[in-house]
Chains A and B, each alone.
Chain A
Amino acid sequence: MTVKVLRRLGILVAGVLVASIVVFLFMAVLPGDPAQVALGVNATPELVAKTRAEFGIDRPLVTQYLDWIGGVLQGDFGRSYVTREEIGPALTDRLGVTLWLVGAGMLVALLIAVPAGTFAAVRHRKADGTALSGLSQIGVAIPAFLAGIILVQIFAVQLRWLPSGGWTPPVQDPGEFLRGLVLPALSLGLVQGAVLTRYVRSAVLDTLGQDYLRTARSKGLRPFQALFRHGLRNAAVPVVTVLGLQLSTLLIGAVVVERVFVLPGLGSMLLDSVASRDLLSVQGIVLVLVVGVLLVNFVVDVLYTVLDPRLRGS
């Protein structure tokens, strides 16, 4: 098991390194000069050249890359060309917002998917179970931003119960924080919930067909009782895998939802930084996102082994 974890760790580090090079090269070939964008129209070529030197983007690419990655390894992401702030602290700040959003979205998704999926599986031959899985099919087809727009129209614009966007840090005002989180979390969570419902349903269906459940049923347990006592842990294994994969999707969904709800998360920072050709910031953000996704995969892999003892030997 230790060997396996170590091997996965190695893959993680290699993945981050490759990603850093790809991101760096991609930003280098992107049209548009950061110095020109920062200075705007009317800038003289001399001024642009001076600013390029100040940003350090007139140096060879290899030097720039080594300089950057060397700093990152020591926890220094550099200073943004545009905001003139340290990128590291800005990243942590923005990541906090995104994690709240993804976490709350996942919570909503699970609150929907586990009961709904289980119900749809157990009653898959009944009308209500079929209706529920049909509903989840529709939910899958709705993009998160559309869900967001509809929710805002109903709950913010028409009813004026909840804010249409904006962010209040939890330490500043917990009530306002929660109010602001409800709609974004719902728009992420409803769609993800629909997706997960289908996986939970098929996982539970699969478990229901297993011999040990039939044995349990023959001992007189009702379908739900049998499932809860003996089946859920087994059904959880494929669901956890999907959950890990879906977390990456959720992260991408969060980028869009942040835009709809004007949340100062990593996604909106990424879009702004790309538009202003804030190369160092973009590199930092993408690196953090890549690390996040790879970390999730890593954790899922480890969890998988914990949940299913049969996998430990391999």
Chain B
Amino acid sequence: MAKKASRPGRRLIVFALLIAALYGGVAIGGVWKPKLGLDLQGGTRITLEASTATGDAITPEKLAEARDIIDQRVNGQGVAEAEVAVQGSRNIVVEIPGKTRKDLVDSVKQTAQLRFRLVAAMAPGRPSQQPSASPSPSASGASGSPSAKASGTGEKATAPSTAPSASPKGRAISGGLLAADQKKKNKGATATPAPSAAPSALPSAAPSANAPSQKGAPVDQPLQWMDNPGEEWLKKFAAFTCPEPGKPVPPVVDRKDQPLVTCDSAGMKYLLSASVIEGTQLTRAEAGIPQNEFTWVVDLSFNSEGRTTFADVTRQIANATSPLTGQQKQFAIVLDGTVISAPVVDQPIPNGQAVIRGDFSQTEAQTLANSLKYGALPLTFTVPVVSEEGPTLAADQLSAGLWAGAIGLLLVIIYCLFYYRGLGLVVVASLAVAGVITYGVVLAMSQAVNFTLTLPGIAGLIVGVGITADSFIVYFERIRDEMRDGKSMRVAVESGWVRARNTCLAADTVSLLAAVVLYIFAIGVVKGFAFALGISTVIDLAVFFMFTKPMVTWLARFPFFNTGHKMSGLSPEAIGIDRISGGRRPSVAGGKA
């Protein structure tokens, strides 16, 4: 007999070591329960689909960037362990386990929109500011009221600072905005801008600003409007309050052709003009340290259209003072309705190359640059599916799925024992080993690649049981066929193996092909199913090669099997022949031949 095959023990030991290694790896992670999908533990899943309506190509890079900002948004709202993942070529899936959170849907699906708006007025947006419907919240008003709890704005808020100073998170600080070629350190953050320093005359329509008319300037002319917003908007501004620092900013409707009242993360509230520059006109935003400097800045570049507008706007607001508030004019960069930066302009910027300065740390600068970049993303999203799974229902489904698995497995075992008798034990043992490995792999996968077990995933594993059992059936039937050809069991085990192995490899390849293709191309529930199916197919092969075959080879040494005991499943009767060759003859022959 083939020497190679006569050492089943070695393979079994290697296999046992592999399993031990698998569980050793899992033990390092120390997590003994697989991650459950939302359909099994309850929670909210929001699927976002990038809209092609804008005509922009949806690239994986853009999707990844969008994923990051959504991640920031969700997790920034104090939701622990929300998963945000790109799925397929157009989808981003947000999964928030635990209690269902409908309130997140709106904030998540909000498109990342970046806009440059002009600041008509700003004030600490805390409730301590008595909501007096003062039509003109002047700068003095803002500075006059102590910042009280507005810890975020700090001492600088008491001065009518032109720049909302360091937020506690250090996010979106603006020191000022300078022409790229200007090396002078901007001191824009200091107050008392000289009104006289405005060289370029204000638009002639503006001068009446100190006494805002009822109507205000037309909304579609932001430069005029910022000097004269009209009573209606000033009232809205006055009535507006920002939430506590750290609390999510309530979603505001951010329409580009309408003025906006909103906050920054430091708790300052702003009255902003209609959008002057869209994020899509921004071509580049990068954080870096310019030569000969030591502080982080953010570089901006605009496309040609944006450059023209930007030059025009900066020319008119550079070093100009707002007639409304007496502060230096500034504009605000608004991302998703929240002011992320409100820089003043030192001088006109004609070439579209701008630098935002401030006391940025590296992270702050990069965050701002990222936000600017994200905002410039043209990807807009629709929300095709929001599903919220109640924890009770989820638990029901988990137990139902497990029951189905248990029942199915039991039936398979019963059938195999009934039909294959002794060999059925090999099936049972192999399935048990496959089960142990599957659990280990699922654990390892959930640690390594964040695999979560979903209901379709469980279904995939259960279907995998069928595929796994099929390998044994192919093999056992082969052994019987070989024995029908007159081979002894020990020979049949080896010669049958060669053919059965090839058959199983071919068939499993098809199965695996299906799983991989499904995994790559499919989305939604299909994906989890395909993954589980793929895992169980691979495990099937491993068990078949490393466990079942050595096991059968080993068992073939026992007379119980190789003489065709009645209960071995390989008796002459079971195979349908008269006598097993190779084994001992029935006792009548007398003695061992």
A binds B: no
